[in-house]
Amino acid sequence: MNSQGNKRPWDRQQPGKSPSLSGYRVALAGNPNTGKSTLFNALTGMRQHTGNWPGKTVLHAEGRYLHNGETYTVIDLPGTYSLFSNSADEEVARDHIVFDQPDVTVVVLDATALERNLNLALQVLEMSDHVVLCVNLMDEAKRKGIQINSGKLSDKLGVPVIKTAAREGEGLEELKQVIARMAQGKITTRPYRLRYDEKLETKIAELEPEVRRVFGNRLPSRWIALRLLDGDAGLAKALRNRLGKEEVDQSGTTDGSPYPVEA
C-alpha cells in the first residue's frame, strides 16, 4: 500500500503462474560493488567471491534456494554501469536479461549512491516487466544519515522496492517473498519508461513495429528499437545470432537460413 492507503498494482492478487520443471529463475543485476554476490551468498548459502573493489564477478554464477517448497535458481551477474555493448560484462548481463528472460530480475542498488545506481535500474526497467529493486547497504546508509522512502520510489518506478542489508541478512525474507510473488505472476508492475524527445520518439514509433514483426512479443521491442537507433552494433549482432539460432531450433539445421549467423 502507498502512503494514501491505496493499493499498488502488486498488492492485488493475480492468477498464479507455475514454475518450469527446474523452478523459477532469478537474476541479480546492478552496478559493481553493490553487494550482488553478498546477496547471492546469503540467499543460496554459496560462497561467491566478494570484496570491496569493483569487477570481481566476471562470469555469471548460479546457485539455488528453496522457498515455500519451490526452487529458485539465482544468477549472479557481473556488475555493470550500463547494459549497452561496451564490454563483455555488459553483454553477459544484457543477454541474460533480454534473451534468457529470468522470471525475476533483481536490480541491486547501493543505498548510499542511489542517484548514480538508478541509471542502470532505469535501463533494466526498459528491458523487462519483471523487476524488483533491492536497495542494499541500508546499514551503511543509516550510518550516513541517508533515508530512503521505498514506498515513494516504488510508486514512481512502478515496481516493488525492498530495502536490505545483505551482509547482516536484513530484509532477505521480505525480498524472497516479493520474488516469489512476482515469479508466480501474482504481481503486476508498471515499469517506469523514459520518454525521449519528440524526434527520437517518432523514430522509435517507426522502428518498433518492425522489431515486433520479426520478434513478436518475446523480446522488448521498444528497448531494442531504441538501442538500434543508438547504433548498438553489439546488440544487432546478438539479435542476428539469435534469429539464426531460432531458425536452427525450428528446422534442426542451419541449411537455408536467410539470416547470417556470426561466430
Ligand X SMILES: Nc1nc2c(ncn2[C@@H]2O[C@H](COP(=O)(O)OP(=O)(O)OP(=O)(O)O)[C@@H](O)[C@H]2O)c(=O)[nH]1
Q: By CB under 6 A, name the one of 5, 51, 69, 252 that touches ligand X.
A: 51
The yes or no reply on residue 171 touching ligand X (CB under 6 A) is no
**Which region among 48-56, 80-88, 124-132, 140-148 touches Mg ion (by CB under 5 A)?**
48-56
Q: Which does 165 bind (CB under 5 to 8 A by kind): ligand X, Mg ion, none?
A: ligand X
The residue among 75 and 226 lying less far from Mg ion, judged by its C-beta, is: 75
Question: What SS3 class is residue 127?
Answer: helix
The residue among 127 and 141 lying less far from ligand X, judged by its C-beta, is: 141
CA–CA gap between residue 39 and residue 28 (Å, rounded): 9
The yes or no reply on residue 140 touching ligand X (CB under 6 A) is yes
Q: Which does 33 bind (CB under 5 to 8 A by kind): Mg ion, ligand X, none?
A: ligand X
Q: What length does the chain have? A: 263
Give me the least distance between CB of 222 and Mg ion, in Å please.
Answer: 30
Can you list the pairs that 58-63 forms with residues at least 24 positions away whose Cβ atoms lie under 8 Å? 58/89, 59/92, 60/92, 60/93, 60/96, 61/37
Q: Which does 34 bind (CB under 5 to 8 A by kind): Mg ion, ligand X, none?
A: ligand X
Question: What SS3 class is residue 62?
Answer: strand
Q: By CB under 6 A, name the one of 24, 60, 61, 79 that touches ligand X.
A: 79
What would the x/- binding string for ligand X be over residues 200 to 219, using CB under 6 A? --------------------
Instruction: Count the residues of the shown chain that bind Mg ion, applying the rule CB under 5 A.
Output: 4
Q: Where are the beta strands (DSSP E) in 125-182?
A: 131-136, 161-163
CA–CA gap between residue 173 and residue 251 (Å, rounded): 45
Neighbours of 146 (CB within 10 A): 14
CA–CA gap between residue 51 and residue 94 (Å, rounded): 23
Give me the least distance between CB of 73 and ligand X, in Å please.
Answer: 17
The residue among 44 and 57 lying less far from Mg ion, judged by its C-beta, is: 57
Q: By CB under 6 A, name the one of 8, 34, 44, 183 that touches ligand X.
A: 34
The yes or no reply on residue 52 touching ligand X (CB under 6 A) is yes
- Report which DSSP code applies to 23: B
On the 0-12 / 13-18 / 19+ scale of CB atoms within 10 A, 253 is exposed
For residues 118 and 82, the answer to whether their CB atoms sit within 8 Å is no
Cell numbers representing residue 156 in the block: 514512481
Q: Which residues bind ligand X (CB under 6 A)?
A: 30, 32-38, 50-52, 54-57, 79, 136-137, 139-140, 165-167
